[in-house]
Amino acid sequence: MPIPDARGSGGTTELDYDAGSGDDACPKRISAGVCDTSVFDEIRDGQCCYIRTSGTCCGRPFLDGERMLGAAPRVRADWLAGSVADARELDAEMRRALGRAWLEDARMEHASIASFAKLTLQLLALGAPAELIEAAQRAALDEMVHAQACFGLASRYYGEALGPAELPMPEKLLVPSLAEAAAAAVREGCVAETLAAAEAAEQLRNATDPQARAALSRIAADEARHAAIAYRFVRWALAQPDKTVSGAVREAFASARAQQTATQLGDDLVGDTTTWRAHGRLTQSEKQICARAAWRDIIEPCASALQDS
């Protein structure tokens, strides 16, 4: 797994996440699944290198069709909520591992701002109630806070102020049908954000580092509320005259469940799991246990209640 490094100098330096273009671009390997292991690629010394995510969620994904969008990281300080703390008490390998993990979370939280902006426009186009539109707007502001907190943690472990570069945009802003929007809400909200909230709560339970705990406390509470927005939208959609919505919702839950069951996370890449947990991270096996519990205790009962109402 390549480690981001800054090239050049000054506040506009971009980290080396550029995937190239045309014939020089690395092949994309981004899955359409909920919270799947999206792969971000780069060209390094003429060869393609891949940077994998944890296989879990951190906020609502920003999608262009089946493609997950996210900004590359950049050396900049204007996305930090405060000064960058010091982490020199940790060894270099642990700092790099923690930096990678929190930077990936930061990029996903940053993309979630755009995802909720997109959702707001779609809700307006579908004639959704005002309370749902207001909730989506507030959620985008929550994601801004999450992104700043995660960029702050990533900057701490890398030892350099980091923020996002330009965020790629979808080629077209399409207005989905009500059934399509309800299915997307299931995948991206009812499932993805429920899993994100459950994982953040477990991270918080294990964390002892004050900065990690402060970030996770806010993230866990907000993601649970964001998941509830998705469930409220799906409930509203099911109450509309469109008879195709119920089938789309049922299929979306079933497909997400099948994918979650089939997902196998890789081995842990860190040896000191005690420090890893203390700084707000979970091992791969802990992530799997957390996801299974969230499906059993939250998602499946809520899905049944939605479809039986």
Highest mean pLDDT: which range of 14-18, 258-262, 288-292: 288-292
Check whether 51 has a pLDDT greater than 60.
Answer: no
Greater confidence (62 vs 245) lies with: 245
* pLDDT of 238 higher than 70: yes
Q: Residue 3 above 70 pLDDT?
A: no
Residue 240's identity, in one-letter code, is: Q
As a whole number of angstroms, the distance between CA 167 and CA 161 comes to: 18
Which pLDDT score is estimated for 61?
A: 86
The CATH architecture of the domain made up of 22-308 is Up-down Bundle (1.20)
The pLDDT assigned to 268 comes to: 64
Give the pLDDT mean for 81-103: 86
Domain ranges of the chain: 22-308
Q: Distance between CA 136 and CA 193 in Å, rounded?
A: 13
Place of tokens 């951190």: 58
**Torsion, CA 182, CA 187, CA 193, CA 196, rounded to 10:** 180
Question: What is the 8-class DSSP label of residue 249?
Answer: H
The residue behind tokens 């927005």 is: 229
Let me know the angle formed at the C-alpha of 150 by 182 and 268, rounded to the nearest 5 degrees: 85
Q: What is the pLDDT of residue 173?
A: 82
Work out the mean pLDDT of the chain and round it to a whole number. Answer: 82
Looking at the predicted structure, is the pLDDT value of residue 300 above 70? yes
Alpha helices (H) in the chain, listed in sequence order:
92-125, 130-158, 178-185, 192-206, 210-238, 245-262, 273-278, 284-294, 300-308
| Contact indicator for 257, 194 with CB cutoff of 8 Å | no
Global pTM? 0.82
DSSP character for 86?
P
Number of H helices, E strands in the chain: 9, 6
**41 pLDDT higher than 60:** no
Q: Cα separation of 73 and 70, whole Å? A: 9
Average pLDDT of the residues in 61-77: 90
**pLDDT confidence of residue 231:** 97
Predicted local distance difference test score (pLDDT) of residue 58: 59
Confirm if 162 and 74 have CB atoms less than 8 A apart. Answer: yes
